[in-house]
Structure 1
Amino acid sequence: MAVAQELYGFPASRLDSFVTQWLQPTREWKEEVLETVQTVEQFLRQENFRGDRGLARNVRVLKVLKVGCFGNGTMIRSTTDVELIVFLSCFHSFQEEARHHQAVLRLIQERMSYCQDLLDLGLSNLSVTDGVPSSLVFTIQTRETWEPITVTVVPAYRALGPSRPSSEVYADLIKANGYPGNFSPSFSELQRNFVKHRPTKLKSLLRLVKHWYQQRAPDIQVTVQQWGHSDLTLWVNPYEPIKKLKEKIRLSRGYSGLQRLSFQEPGGERQLIRSHCSLAYYGIFCDTHICLLDTISPEIQVFVKNPDGGSHAYAIHPLDFVLTLKQQIEDRQGFRSQEQRLEFQGQVLEDWFDFKSYGIQDSVTIILSKKSNGAAPFAPS
């Protein structure tokens, strides 16, 4: 595809021509991408999520919403990132969404990995990524040209419903006391419609701004220093969240723990940088040095008390499924996972729930017993 001409070489009177010729996607390309993404939407609408992980028995996808440039009609040529917001019937409040967000993501991830229609599209790089909020990210390819498309899926509580929002919605949002940005997908329909129904002139302006940003925001060189290791040099967009920098460090060094990064301005004090912020937020727009203080192992140790009174220690990840611990117990003790019943503080642990959902922390004790016929496990409160 031809590279767009320099924006500054066009007079203001011909900007509409510049947008049409270089930035506006062709109808054929747009239809090809949307047809591919429609396969993902069909999976989300048709897949049966009922009864898993202690959620409500009849979990339905209320709506799948395309947001970002594909949702509001401001995509520019060759855009390959599509974001989908999934409103689920099992979320009845902001608090409930916060409690089950990670579990739902991993449930969708598990089901998606077996979807033949998506596997036929070259499904790859399927992973749950930390962020504000966390999301499910994967890559598929268009049917005709096999161009890779990155799709991001974010489950959300449909706070607005089919009608205009009421003041109670915002009062509930304040009471939820969530981290800034965690519940923004609940309001994505308002955000999308604000731009979608605006005149073409405004959309053309937004395309021009995006194109200018891509041309005028080059990557900067970041040197990561760590005691006992050689320096690591990475190229980073200063406007991207720090979490993407951490992901590059993880892939380069093989870290699986939590990373703490810091930097120091000349003559200033050293300060930690937060994952949801960007280098630009800290005023870093040129080559810089970042210090990797340490990595904290994400694993925790739990004790499993057997029916005979003895106990064993196991290492688990807070976001692992409960089933993974049952499989460890089966491997070590020969007690079949299907027959195991695990309890923590009076709650039966569901196979497809993660440990974080139950508030399980380091060094706690989990009770192991044999399942009784007809026992029905329940979800964490």
Structure 2
Amino acid sequence: MELSRELYETPGDRLEAFVRRSLQPQGGWKEQVQDTWHRIQQFLQDQCFEDELVQDREVRVLKVVKGGSSGKGTALNHSSDLDIVLFLSCFSSFQDQAFFREEIINFIEERLEYCSRSLAYSITVAHHKNGARAPRSLFLQVQSKKSSDVIRVDLLPAFDALGPLNPDSKPAPEIYADLIRSISYPGEFSPSFTVLQRHFVKSRPMKLKKLLQLVKFWYLKCLKPKYRRVALPSKYALELLTIYAWEMGTDESESFSLDEGLVAVMGLLQDYEDICIYWTKYYDFQNEAVKNQIKQQLKGSRPVILDPADPTNNLGRKRNWDVVAKEAAHCLRQVCCTTVDPSQRWHVQRARGVQVTVKQTGLETWTLSVDPYSPIWKMKAEIKKKNLILGQQRLSFQEAGGERQLLSSQRTLADYGIFSKVNVRVLETFPPEIQVFVKDSSGHSTPYAIHPEDTIRHLKEKIEDAGGPLVEDQMLKFQGWKLGNHRSLESLDIEDCDTVLLIRRNTDSPRLPPAPQWSPTAFYLDPFTKYYYPSTRR
């Protein structure tokens, strides 16, 4: 029986035996892959660049790292590729790597052909095709002279951006900021972060690695043969999707059934248009350049599956996920999935919960976690209960460089592209009050509740009471016009959710004392002198 049919016809409670018997690397294959790794590693370190110059440069091998499935501990028997990442001294930056990489690949190819006899393997060399771009790796087909098995090796020269970093540590944000400035296409320099990518998967429990092997087998034997001419998502994308499903569905427990995990992953693949996945293990929102990069990625078309080690690489981008979803739906109807007890199915959100920081004038700031695909009225109900809101609740948010936006009860955070931390301002209004946004010189906007018949001075007093400038230090403008203190908002055609600009007067220069406010002078007639004198009464 072909293995794809065997998977679909294996009951869920026997999947672990199926993985152990048919998928996990067996002795002979494991030894052959390991021997190939050692021989090529030794060639690269000891022979490849010995006493040679490449474009008049001396090249030293800094380290050789095993990547791909073999490095992560998720290889399949007689199937998985061997990725070898070669970190070289001639690359001093990402830009240097992009400029010099093709020459290095050509040089390695020449040296492999010259030294192939000493490797005891038959090696066929081919460049990877990258369209109009220069090759980023060398693809080798390696066959032992004692076996018919062919091992596919991907050899990738890379800039050592991380140096001796412990993979449990966070790289300096400047490394990622430099990466973002350097890229010409997404994921171009991902090999530089192989150590982190490998550790992200390799450090997971053995039970999860079995699920990863099962999902990758499904990809290679059930999905790929049906769509040979279609550009499909990478196996790494499905690995990350599976890890996310396990984290969310089991709270990172090592006690679960493989069929439950398979059902959860296939369910996610069916709903690919809602998937938005990222991690903050190696990069986060603290650095401005990295934050902007992540937020831009999260706002893109779904699915979004960000490489946890490379924020420039969205592995869900433009990869015919519809055909993946079609085969996932077919898988869910097979015996391997239908034996799962519905009550035991994992609950996996299509995106992580968003940390919403709730701010309301006069109240303590607090946070809650919100499913980005949940309607906003549910979040409003929770806020109303916590903040004891009696009037109309108005929620708004503002992103850096943007305008403050009102959150509609019938929409979701996802509709506004919000998949990461966000600050939400709460405003309580009572009819006929309206909400007015006041934007300061930094671009930050604050909402205020005010009656349309109230004056501009009344609005200024509210701004001062909220911690803003003193009334006399404020100048307000609307649609380019300076607003007089005694005009009402209604007379100035300021309506609900309009934005008024706040300009702080220059308080550094010395100020003249206010001019005396004289009232009309009164006179009285002195009956003795018959002269008129100014009255002292006001």
Length-normalised TM-score, structure 2: 0.40
The question of whether the paired residues in 1 share the 8 Å contact of 2:70 and 2:80 is answered with: no
Alpha-carbon distance, 1:68 to partner: 1.1
Over 3 Å counting, the alpha-carbon distance change for 1:277 and 1:14 in structure 2 is closer
TM-superposition CA deviations, 1:236-276 (whole Å, max 9, x none): 244179xxxxxxxxxxxxxxxxxxxxxxxxxxxxxxxxxx9
**How far apart in 1 are the matches of 2:318 and 2:174?**
36
Structure 1 residue corresponding to 2:222, chosen from 216, 223, 230: 216
Q: Against the structure 1 CA distance between its residues 238 and 51, is the aligned structure 2 distance closer, same or farther, given a 3 Å change threshold?
A: closer
In the alignment, what sits opposite 1:142? 144
| Alpha-carbon offset, residue 203 of structure 1 | 0.3
Q: For residue 28 of structure 1, report the CA deviation from its aligned partner.
A: 2.8
Q: Which residue of 2 aligns with 1:154?
A: 156
- TM alignment of 1:1-381, pairs within 5 A: 3=3, 6-49=6-49, 52-54=53-55, 56-57=57-58, 59-117=59-117, 120-124=120-124, 126-131=125-130, 134-163=136-165, 164=169, 165-219=171-225, 236-239=229-232, 281-282=319-320, 285=323
Secondary structure at 1:182 match in 2? coil
Q: Structure 1 stretches of 5 or more lacking a match?
A: 222-234, 242-275, 287-381
CA distance in 1, matches of 2:99, 2:177: 19
Tell me which amino acid in the other structure corresponds to 1:108. I
Aligned residue type for 1:236: R
Residue pair 2:233, 2:321 contacting (<8 A) in 1 also: no
After superposition, the Cα gap between the structure-2 partners of 1:283 and 1:10, relative to the gap in structure 1 and judged at 3 Å, is closer
Q: Cα deviations across residues 219-238 of structure 1 (Å, max 9, x unaligned)?
A: 457xxxxxxxxxxxxx5244
Amino acid paired to 1:52: L
Kindly indicate whether the alpha-carbon contact (under 8 Å) linking 1:80 and 1:148 is maintained by their aligned counterparts in 2.
no
Q: 1:158 to 1:218 in 2, by over 3 A?
A: closer
Instruction: Flag the 1:146–1:37 CA change in 2: closer, same or farther, 3 A.
Output: farther
Q: Counterparts of 2:22 and 2:217 in 1: how far apart (Å)?
A: 10
- Which residue type is aligned with residue 85 of structure 1? V
- Whether the 8 Å contact between 1:87 and 1:155 is mirrored in structure 2 is yes
1:98/1:55 CA distance change after superposition, 3 Å: farther
C-alpha distance 205-118 of structure 1, shift in aligned 2 (>3 A): farther
Partner deviation per Cα, 1:350-380 (whole Å, 9 max, x = no partner) = xxxxxxxxxxxxxxxxxxxxxxxxxxxxxxx
Bigger Rg, structure 1 or 2: 2
CA contact (8 A) 1:56 1:90 kept: yes
Is contact 1:72-1:196 (8 Å) kept?
yes
| 1:279–1:285 CA contact under 8 A, matched in 2 | no
How far, CA to CA, are the matches of 1:90 and 1:75 in structure 2?
Answer: 31
- Distance apart, 1:89 and its partner CA: 1.2
One-letter amino acid of the counterpart of residue 63, structure 2: K
Name the CA shift for 1:220/1:11 in 2 (closer, same or farther; >3 Å).
closer
C-alpha distance in structure 1 between counterparts of 2:211 and 2:199, whole Å: 17
Q: Do the aligned partners of 1:220 and 1:237 also contact (CA within 8 Å) in 2? A: no
Letter of the structure 2 residue corresponding to residue 196 of structure 1: K
Q: Percent identity?
A: 39
SS in 1 for 2:122: coil
Does the aligned pair in 2 maintain the 1:32–1:143 contact within 8 Å? no
How far the C-alpha of 1:41 sits from its partner, in A, is: 1.2
Query: CA contact under 8 A between 1:238 and 1:279: conserved in structure 2?
Result: no
1:6 aligned partner, one-letter code = E
**Counterpart residue number, 2:356:** none
Q: Which amino acid aligns with 2:159?
A: Y
Q: Distance in 2 between matches of 1:219 and 1:237?
A: 10
Rounded Cα–Cα distance in structure 1 between residues aligned with 2:13 and 2:45: 46
Residues 82, 150 of structure 1: 8 Å contact kept: yes
CA drift of 1:48 comes to 4.8
For normalisation by structure 1, the TM-score amounts to 0.56
Shift in alpha-carbon separation, 1:116–1:212, aligned structure 2, 3 A: closer
What is aligned with 2:276? none
AA of the residue aligned to 1:185: P
Name the CA distance, whole Å, in 2 between partners of 1:47 and 1:4: 43
RMSD between aligned alpha carbons? Answer: 3.0
| AA of the residue aligned to 2:319 | Y
Cα pair distance change 1:90/1:218, threshold 3 Å: closer
Q: 1:211 to 1:162 in 2, by over 3 A?
A: same
